[in-house]
Structure 1
Amino acid sequence: MANNVSGPRVSILEPLLRRKRATAAELAQQQAVPKRRKISALAPSVDVFNPTKNTEAFPYWSRLVPEIRAMILERLPSSRGFGEHRIGDYACVSKEWKAWVESRTFASLNIDSLTQIRRLGEYVRGERASCVRNVHLYTDLMPYPDRQLAEDEECVNFNNRRFSERVKILFAMMSTWNSTSCVTLELSASSPTDLLTGAWLETHEEFNSDCILDTDYSGHTRERLLGNLLDLQDDENGTVCLSSVPAVKRLVVSRRHFRSLTARAITTITGHLPGLEEVVYEPWEFVNMAGQMDRDYAATKLLDHLPPSVKAVTLWETSRPMIHRDVLTTKLDLAEAEAAVRASFQLFSFSSAGMVDADRFFGLARINDTERPIWPELRSICLKSQCLSGLRGQKDVTLLLIDAAAAALRMPRLELMELWYASEGRGTIIRLDLRGDRAKLHVASTWHVHLVSVVRRLFGQVAWNRTHWDLDFSFEEIDPGSLMGGQYKICERLHSTVRCQL
């Protein structure tokens, strides 16, 4: 028989939020104290920064068993029915609540001005700095009145100066953070005018290329949108002075906005991150060969100057139909692929979408076969290849897979290899998965991929050497209609780090 409890319902959180009644004099004193100004996402609505605040106002909190305390804390982000209370208000309950709230409040910080950088240095220090997991620095560049005109020298210098100033101040502030922190630093930049063009929709993975807002999207407009590469300006002594930031373990040069970095800028930044373990580099493909060569050169130098601490690299060359509908920027220089092969020898994980084709990567490894290069630590490799488009002959596909299997035989710790291609309505994934208690080669494609006997034998040898399991083969037909969203629909099927960047 159900028990009926009369009276209004009382939330389990209500006793913890109830304050002692203040006297009239106390209320007058509180009103006389000016309110603390909030600073965007860097400060909650309550003054949690005051070390003199009584955080033991609710001694009976400690009487609850740890499991109940954890359940209550986990409910805080979704609590909405307690008057004017926000997540920051709960920090005054106890030291445990304060630590929990700060770990959420300061976990991810978006910074888009010098003022926010300085406030970050003021408020996020000491133990609080250990709460930070992600810092996104966005640089807003100079607006431009005419989208048909290229950037002039004044605009280029302004953009470089603004980007340099923010990076230098942020690095100086973060240099004091504990080296044991695991911070992801993301860098991105764009002009406000970029957003006014409607082209910002192109940065979204679900963008429909049929919904073009600007019918006069000329070559000059696209060049101005992608802009010049950002550089770090020299100091008065003729060098770029950056503070060392050991707390950053992961660097992302994001495709979230349109601008990318010069070779000098990206190598200088990575050179001042002594604890760096992972690099995610996502430049936009340019719309002419001259601009594309500058971007390829930057990627080459990044790979050639990787700090020895880096163990994972993801390269993603971003393109969109509206911007690149009639663009042909063939990579004639092998320097980028050669740099990728050299860099991969120190890595645990390497992924490339568009910047280094699998055909060239494994082809260069085959050319150097007399030296028998070994990838001693490589566990995961994911490469895009034009050979898998379905528009090339079967011979090209077979040669690619033979070279890939030959390279895999020299990867003694390999766990996952993925070769793929995607475009509107076409896609292929060939996945060698040596994880778990089975060895599997899975082929998923919109067209028929034939694996000749030599390919099966070589990959079977890879599986046996690595796992002592026979290789299982499986095939899946992909509906072309399911790929009308472009390459992102295929990438959702990938198991490697490329999928994590979506």
Structure 2
Amino acid sequence: MGRWGSLPAEIRSMILEMVAEDYRFKSEQYALAGYASVCREWQPVFEPRNFQRLVLDQERISDLEQVMSTKQRRDYLEHLFLRVRLNDYDCTVCKSKEDYGTIRNNNDIFSTAIWNLLVILSKWTGFAGSRRQQGLTLELGAFSPSDSKHAFRDFHLEHNYPYQEKKDLETHWEGYKLRADKLGLDSLNDPYHWWANGRRDDVSLESKQRIMGTLTINPNLPQFSAFFQAFPKVEIITGLLIRRQFYRKIAANSLGKLLRETFTNLRWFRHEAWHDVDPQQQSSFEKDYKRLISWHLPNTLRELYIFEDFNKLLHPERSTKRANPSLGRALSKSSRYLENLSAAFLVDAKDFFPNLWPANEQNSNVIPWENLRKLALTSRLLHPKIGRGKINKLLIAAARAAAFMPKLEVMEIWNGGEGHACLFRYNNNAGEPKIIWACNWGSHVQLDQNVIHCWANLPRHGQHPHGNLTTVVHRLRRGRKQVKTYAATILHLKLRSSVLDLISDYQVFWEEYNHSKG
């Protein structure tokens, strides 16, 4: 330390900043936390980073109140991830659906963890006067450590998955390559779990259901049932994040309770959930989700990002499923106050514009989307097996809807899956409107003149000196044999960051890259 003290203050500061910025997941797990305790000079450099993002499981919640007892530390905190750890299971049950006792136990673990955390966070008031007026992002997820040890060896299911924040992505494929080298995936052979020579050919329905359970908040637990008139109100949470990293869902009615009763200042909500492998459970989820969309979105919400995930192994027939029309209509009605909206696969753009199709007389009583700036939707109509007439009607309906979106900057309607990728984009950011049509199918990639005419005649275009609409039509570079999943289309989206969380986006593209590994 004597030699350290002899260095000029500017040099010491530069070294500390370099150490902090160069910290990676390969480093000693708690090394960065220890740096803050070396001396007072080091503390203001490392402590803000140490408390910027915290990851908790249910056993560490009790320490949160003491560790974050000072307002200064709470001001450092930007992202809090509650990663609920469910009980382990072994090969005697890994191929079977969770029984009633396991489901009840999982719900109790999850409910208690959520309650205990919210009780603490409800005491963190007055954030609007702090230096971090944007509030706090709460991320929720639940998994069993056994989920990654049986039929599903997905990297992102593992407890020590290294990609937790943006700076971790700067290592590119490093974490995935290190794991592949360690496991020797090319020689992985586990016939009991359907693995042969590094490939997973098939998985039973019951094994899928084991990792895709639904967690429901239990209002009857004895430790808080006496207080369960309503959830604690938490004003510091302004963003709620549920990523695709874990397959298990949080029940829609439980999410609705949180949105309705707890998060009084919620500005944005990103919900990435997996399509259920059980049709009845999926139908029940959609029924409850419609209620959430229709009645439980808080009036403070300005950004909503919904993504329903699926893959070929879990959902071999998913690409043929028609989205629930009532969900699209409900989202259309409840989105009028939003500024940014993305909804992928759970709803269809066709249902989001229900009264604006060319067959209908344009309704002058349509309630406008006064604040909507960015909109991204998927539609199964953007598919090589769908007639161009239906596609044209969809794009005309979208143009009619855009006429009721006075602040619209970008609208993207897209679709993607095995062998096909397609994108329609309207962009008016700089007052120079442009539409883009791109796909990887069809002998002639063309855009119907009626579609172009409808978009060119939007009322707002006459308000700009460069108001003439530009039309760009081109073929996506990747051919049908090269396209394995929807990830090929996401690559071309201007609203890519709205469609998927950055970490989720990274996972999706690694999975496509590693598609041949199963």
Question: TM-score, normalization: structure 1?
Answer: 0.79
Letter in 2 for 1:432: Y
The match for 2:257 is: 268
Q: Please give the per-residue CA displacement for 1:72-127, whole angstroms capped at 9, x wherever unaligned.
A: 553132569xxx9954455367767423312111111111232x111222111321
Aligned pairs (5 A) from 1:131-210: 131-144=76-89, 145-177=92-124, 178-180=126-128, 181=132, 182-201=135-154
| In 2: Cα distance, 1:324 partner to 1:216 partner | 11
Q: Percent identity?
A: 24
For this pair of structures, how many residues does the alignment match?
A: 441
| In 2: Cα distance, 1:421 partner to 1:333 partner | 16
Q: Please give the per-residue CA displacement for 1:274-314, whole angstroms capped at 9, x wherever unaligned.
A: 11011111111012320111221232122121000000111
The match for 2:447 is: 451
Letter in 2 for 1:360: D
Letter in 2 for 1:357: D
The match for 1:439 is: 433
Aligned pairs (5 A) from 1:300-449: 300-304=290-294, 305-327=296-318, 330-331=321-322, 333-364=324-355, 366=357, 369-436=363-430, 438-448=432-442, 449=445
Q: Secondary structure at the match of 2:250?
A: coil
| In 1: Cα distance, 2:15 partner to 2:462 partner | 51
| In 2: Cα distance, 1:193 partner to 1:142 partner | 8
On the 8 A contact 1:417/1:432 being kept in 2, the answer is yes
TM-aligned CA distance change 1:482 to 1:328, over 3 Å:
closer
CA shift at 1:370, angstroms?
Answer: 4.7
On the 8 A contact 1:492/1:499 being kept in 2, the answer is no
Letter in 2 for 1:192: P
| In 1: Cα distance, 2:338 partner to 2:3 partner | 50
Which region of structure 1 is more displaced relative to structure 2, 465-474 or 92-101? Answer: 92-101
Which ranges in structure 2 are unaligned for 5 or more consecutive residues?
158-162, 164-172, 177-184, 186-194, 506-518
Question: TM-score, normalization: structure 2?
Answer: 0.77
Letter in 1 for 2:213: G
On the 8 A contact 2:137/2:238 being kept in 1, the answer is yes
The match for 2:489 is: 490
| In 2: Cα distance, 1:354 partner to 1:312 partner | 18
On the 8 A contact 2:270/2:305 being kept in 1, the answer is yes
Letter in 2 for 1:184: T
TM-aligned CA distance change 1:106 to 1:286, over 3 Å:
same
| In 2: Cα distance, 1:445 partner to 1:96 partner | 56
Which region of structure 1 is more displaced relative to structure 2, 330-339 or 220-229? Answer: 330-339
CA shift at 1:155, angstroms?
Answer: 1.1
| In 1: Cα distance, 2:41 partner to 2:409 partner | 41
The match for 1:98 is: 43
On the 8 A contact 1:179/1:275 being kept in 2, the answer is no
Q: Secondary structure at the match of 1:282?
A: strand
Letter in 2 for 1:369: N
Q: Secondary structure at the match of 1:324?
A: coil
| In 2: Cα distance, 1:236 partner to 1:269 partner | 16
The match for 1:296 is: 286
The correspondence for 2:65, drawn from 117, 121, 140, is 121
| In 2: Cα distance, 1:342 partner to 1:420 partner | 21
Superposition RMSD in Å: 3.2
On the 8 A contact 2:249/2:274 being kept in 1, the answer is yes
CA shift at 1:334, angstroms?
Answer: 3.0
Q: Please give the per-residue CA displacement for 1:325-368, whole angstroms capped at 9, x wherever unaligned.
A: 14578457532112201121010011111011111111245568
Which region of structure 1 is more displaced relative to structure 2, 167-176 or 333-342? Answer: 333-342
1:282 aligns with 2:272: yes
Larger Rg: 1
Q: Secondary structure at the match of 2:329?
A: helix
